[in-house]
């Protein structure tokens, strides 16, 4: 046969080393070896504190049991008496070992000798078991004493292979010598020694396996602890990074908020300047100039197709050259036969809407006066249709109405927070879109700041002037009384009623009779004209239509109640419930 190549031999050797290393839990690093040894010493000391006193008691009990009284010696054979006397002497000789083990474990656990205490105790008691087995040969042929000590030491001590070899080797040598000297029968002697060898091999293997199990357990605990520390460090680092990112987001949000505030301030300031310039331009400019497609206002907004016209001016589709976005451009001509107060109201709308940041309120982009004397206002171009057009298809289900009302009232609440009242909530001023949040609230041209009572008399609506659309006016608007955000809530209630019933709340001829109905006639219960409306929704609409503003909910309260109702009805988002718009409708009439 040829020799095995060296590479194959080395590969086989590495395989067995790897197998043993994996099976034994892997080789410990120097630091882990020290920690494992310290843990083993502490465990062994705790066990010695219990076992050493217990073994001392065992020795004393054996001495008492095997001590032969003087009266019994005459009736006892010489062989039996020798067995008893030898056992007593052996147990008496082992008592100092038990005392030594207990003393070190209790009083000197940190001494250098304490680290070897488990080996000394195990070797000593294995020798004790070997001697007991040899003495037993005087009377018996078994090796039970040595067997018991072998298995007990394997379980309690769990020595590594190298330590187990010398401990069990010492015990084996003593028991073989003892059996050889004290067992007269050669056949029994051979059988006993073979039994001892079997017991020693099994005990040594058991001790080694338990030692491996302890090392694997130690390695796993250390790995888990290390992973836990690493996870804690990762969590700490993640929390730190999240905190830094949140702080950065907050900082940037504050910067954006400051920029928005500056932009709104600039729009309001510019609106004031434009308002004062209108009178001068109206006197200086004559003729009937019109904008044409391709014209550019303010070197930024390119005029496109004309979308609509009214008494105050026109609405054009356009493009913002700064961003490339599509925009709607409202234009007023200073030479039109419109009262100056209406022009100021147009300029004021920009300042008011600029203060409101809500996705359901049309976004104001810019307001300015061109070099050609065109007063213009740029806002986002909406793709959708008005609620007025949508109503032609008939009543809505209550879940859709509730979701619509939630969004509408939430937008009004945002305006009220900034001190702005819309004052003309009606179907023509609500644009339905197929993107979140499903609608846009338009035309704050009649809006009034809560604090405008301190403004100059020429810049605010004259006292006693009735403004709004008769079918959707609150009683306090009809009576030209102080108007608050509760007026918008009343108008919203009228809209919700109409969406459910497919008709107005008050259907009478003549604007004056409609207006007086708002003041003096109790509105009907929506359930009397629309079947299937829940009591909860009907009660909310009735609350919104209360004649006394103080009895109506705020817009925020109404939005919350409508949201809860819509959620209970499992209503999807408003934009998901609306049918696809038939065309892009941005035609707005100027008042």
* Residue 318: strand, helix, or coil: strand
CB 510 within 8 A of CB 376: no
With residue 167 as reference, give the H or E element that holds it: helix 161-182
Among candidates 438, 325, 432, 343, which has minimal Cα distance to 384?
Answer: 432
As to burial, measured by CB atoms within 10 angstroms (0-12 exposed, 13-18 middle, 19+ buried), residue 313 is buried
- The catalytic site residues sit at 424
Contacts of 499 (CB under 8 A, 6+ apart): 391, 395, 396, 400, 401, 404
pLDDT at 473: 94
pLDDT at 287: 46
Q: How would you write the pLDDT of the chain (591 residues) with one tens digit per residue?
A: 455 566 777 776 666 666 555 554 456 667 677 777 777 778 878 888 888 888 889 888 888 888 888 777 777 888 888 888 888 888 888 888 888 888 887 887 777 766 777 888 888 888 888 888 888 888 888 888 888 888 888 888 888 888 888 888 888 888 888 888 888 788 888 888 888 888 889 988 888 888 888 888 888 888 888 888 888 888 888 888 888 888 888 888 787 777 767 766 666 666 666 655 555 555 445 444 567 888 888 889 999 988 887 656 788 999 999 888 899 998 876 554 445 555 666 666 666 677 788 999 988 888 887 777 778 888 888 888 899 999 998 999 999 999 999 999 999 999 999 888 999 999 999 999 989 999 999 887 555 544 443 333 323 343 444 556 899 999 999 998 889 999 999 999 999 999 999 999 998 888 889 999 999 999 999 999 999 999 999 999 999 999 999 999 999 999 999 999 999 999 999 998 875 443 333 334 333
Measured distance CA(566)–CA(406) in Å, rounded: 8
């Amino acid at each position: 046969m040829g020799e095995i190549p060296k590479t194959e031999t080395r590969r086989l050797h590495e395989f067995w080393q790897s197998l043993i290393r994996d099976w034994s839990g892997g080789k410990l690093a120097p630091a882990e070896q020290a920690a494992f040894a310290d843990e083993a010493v502490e465990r062994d000391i705790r066990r010695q504190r219990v076992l050493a006193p217990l073994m001392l008691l065992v020795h004393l009990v054996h001495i008492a049991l095997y001590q032969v009284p003087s009266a019994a010696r005459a009736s006892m054979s010489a062989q039996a008496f020798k067995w008893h006397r030898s056992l007593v002497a052996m147990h008496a000789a082992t008592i100092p070992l038990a005392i030594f083990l207990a003393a070190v474990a209790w009083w000197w656990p940190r001494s250098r000798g304490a680290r070897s205490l488990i080996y000394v105790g195990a070797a000593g008691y294995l020798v004790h078991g070997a001697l007991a087995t040899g003495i037993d040969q005087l009377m018996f042929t078994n090796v039970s004493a040595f067997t018991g000590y072998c298995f007990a030491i394997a379980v309690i001590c769990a020595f590594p292979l190298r330590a187990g070899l010398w401990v069990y080797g010492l015990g084996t040598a003593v028991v073989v010598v003892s059996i050889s000297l004290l067992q007269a029968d050669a056949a029994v002697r051979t059988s006993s020694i073979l039994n001892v060898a079997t017991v020693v091999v099994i005990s040594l293997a058991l001790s080694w396996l338990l030692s491996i199990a302890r090392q694997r357990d130690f390695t796993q605990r250390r790995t888990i602890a290390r992973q836990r520390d690493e996870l804690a460090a990762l969590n700490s680092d993640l929390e730190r990074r999240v905190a830094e990112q949140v702080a950065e987001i907050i900082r940037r949000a504050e910067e954006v908020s400051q920029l928005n505030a500056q932009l709104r301030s600039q729009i309001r300031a510019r609106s004031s300047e434009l308002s004062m310039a209108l009178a001068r331009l109206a006197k200086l400019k004559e003729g009937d100039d019109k904008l044409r497609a391709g014209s550019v206002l303010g070197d930024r907004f390119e005029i496109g197709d004309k979308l609509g016209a009214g008494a105050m001016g026109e609405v054009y589709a356009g493009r913002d050259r700064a961003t490339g976005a599509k925009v709607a451009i409202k234009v007023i001509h200073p030479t039109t036969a419109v009262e100056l107060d209406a022009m100021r109201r147009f300029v004021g709308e920009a300042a008011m809407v600029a203060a409101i940041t809500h996705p359901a309120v049309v976004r104001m982009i810019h307001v300015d006066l061109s070099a050609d004397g065109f007063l213009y206002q740029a806002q986002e171009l909406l793709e959708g249709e008005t609620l007025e057009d949508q109503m032609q298809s008939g009543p809505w289900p209550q879940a859709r109405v509730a979701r619509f009302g939630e969004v509408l009232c939430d937008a009004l609440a945002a305006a009220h927070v900034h001190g702005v009242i819309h004052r003309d909530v009606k179907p023509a001023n609500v644009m339905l879109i197929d993107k979140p949040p499903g609608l846009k609230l338009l035309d704050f041209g009649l809006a009034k700041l809560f604090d405008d009572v301190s403004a100059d008399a020429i810049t605010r609506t004259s006292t006693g002037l009735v403004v709004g659309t008769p079918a959707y006016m609150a009683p306090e608007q009809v009576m030209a009384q102080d108007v608050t955000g509760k007026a918008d809530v009343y108008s919203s209630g009228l809209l919700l009623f109409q969406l459910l019933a497919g008709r107005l709340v008050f259907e009478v001829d003549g604007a004056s009779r409609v207006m007086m109905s708002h003041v003096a006639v109790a509105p009907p219960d929506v359930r009397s004209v629309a079947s299937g409306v829940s009591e909860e929704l009907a009660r909310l609409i009735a609350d919104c239509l209360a004649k006394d503003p103080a009895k109506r909910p705020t817009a925020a309260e109404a939005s919350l109640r409508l949201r809860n109702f819509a959620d209970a009805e499992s209503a999807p988002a408003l934009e998901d419930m609306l049918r696809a718009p038939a065309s892009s409708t941005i035609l707005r009439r100027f008042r």
